[in-house]
Amino acid sequence: MALSINTQNIHFSKNIQKSLVLMLFFFGSFTAFGQNSACNCISALEEVSELIQHSKSYKLQIKKENREQKFQQWKEKIITEIKQDELSEYFCAGYLQKYVSFIKDRHNQVYKFLEDLAENIPTYKKSIDTTIIEDNISGIYHAGSDKIFLKKESDSLWLGITLKSASEGWKKGKIRLKINKTEDGSFEIFEFFANGILSYQNNIKIENGRIQGTFWNRANQYFFHVNHEQNFNFRSINTDFDYIGIKTLSRTRNLMKEAQVFYEDHLKNLNKENLIVDLRNNGGGAIKQAEPLIKSLQKNDNIKHIFVLINFKTASAAELATLQLKKDKRSIIAGENSRGMLEFGYGNKSFSAKTDCLGFNVSFSTKHENNNLHEYETKGITPDLYLQNTSNWIDQIVEFNKLP
């Protein structure tokens, strides 16, 4: 409420005026201080709990199913975790993401761009001895030019401490990620990307020297990754295999034209027994872009096996395209679990807002694709053929095809 005083009609003595000015100054200072002290991760969480009600998935999974009480209990659990974490100031975006993860919808996003990494990323204060490996999780991990030491802090906490990075702001000692072992024995990760954006994932696996669902691995190998130079790629691998790689399904006018030209040039020439359709790192867009490929393959009797390559960055419309290809009995899904962003989407536009407290961006789903996709949401599509991060994935598929 604003306080307005008309000094034209009220005449104060100089002392009274001075006292009033001082009173208003201290009142204003106290109010401002109170507002600042109240603006913390928990108050940001309260804002997100109001905003999430605009998402399509909230309306279906919480409101329609009368799960408001359970969702409230989940929020109280997150509040407790925030209070117990001495680094919660830095990992707040992760806790907000964890809160909305109660709803199975990976299109619901909470994030923040950090202007100054040096100030907004925590620094590990203790000494680091990379020769001390206390368990089979701890050790040195790589992600391209970045290197961390994953150090066990307790029976349920590991911190990923920067040893080397080519990214500005990531000095030695900065905490790049933290992994928690939860009450049910599973693992969750709070990971800062190189640009400072924080990402939360639950139910991750740490096996074969890799933190699944991330680039971090001990061997410094990235056979699960692909870096297409072109949006659409075709090549002959050998006398038995053709290869098509699709970088994106974004539905821009130029990309739709580019896709049309690509399909016209190459689909008619697919006459080998085996075809690899590589959708690794394809973040989606619109399945309409992939429809000419899917329809053409359905009519192509020359092909005996269709291997669809997916990884943890295959998402949204690329996952829908994978499921369409999976309907073909000749298809074998290969690689690792996809991202798990299928059941919901943004329609023509997502619900977007920004919290008043701490300035977190939110982007929530507005469209429900299909109830039948619920089993894949957050979990992803499980491949028929798991591939290991030990050699080239295309080579692994060719070798697999040689087996009797």
Residue 236 host element (H or E): strand 232-236
Q: Confidence class of residue 347 from pLDDT cuts 50, 70 and 90?
A: confident
Q: Confidence class of residue 27 from pLDDT cuts 50, 70 and 90?
A: very low
- Tokens for 368, please give them: 């429900």
DSSP 395: H
Q: 364 to each of 196, 314, 347, how far by Cα in Å?
A: 21, 20, 11
pLDDT of residue 13: 39
pLDDT of residue 251: 84
Domains and CATH numbers, the chain: 41-211 (no CATH), 232-335+370-402 (3.90.226.10)
- Average model confidence (pLDDT) across the chain: 90
* % the chain with pLDDT above 70: 91
Q: Distance between CA atoms of 199 and 96, rounded to whole angstroms?
A: 10
pLDDT at 25 > cutoff 70: no
* SS3 category, 116: coil
When pLDDT is averaged across residues 55-81 and rounded to a whole number, the result is 98
350-393 confidence digits (pLDDT tens) = 999 999 999 999 999 999 988 899 999 999 999 999 999 999 99
pLDDT of residue 37: 53
pLDDT of residue 15: 41
**Which has the minimum average pLDDT: 25-39, 332-346, 353-367?**
25-39
pLDDT at 1 > cutoff 80: no
Buried-exposed string 248-274: b where 16+ CB fall within 10 A, e elsewhere: bbbeeeebeeebeebbeebbeebebeb
Contacts of residue 72, defined as CB under 8 A and 6 or more positions apart, other chains included, come to none
Q: Confidence class of residue 266 from pLDDT cuts 50, 70 and 90?
A: very high
pLDDT of residue 2: 35
When pLDDT is averaged across residues 35-47 and rounded to a whole number, the result is 84
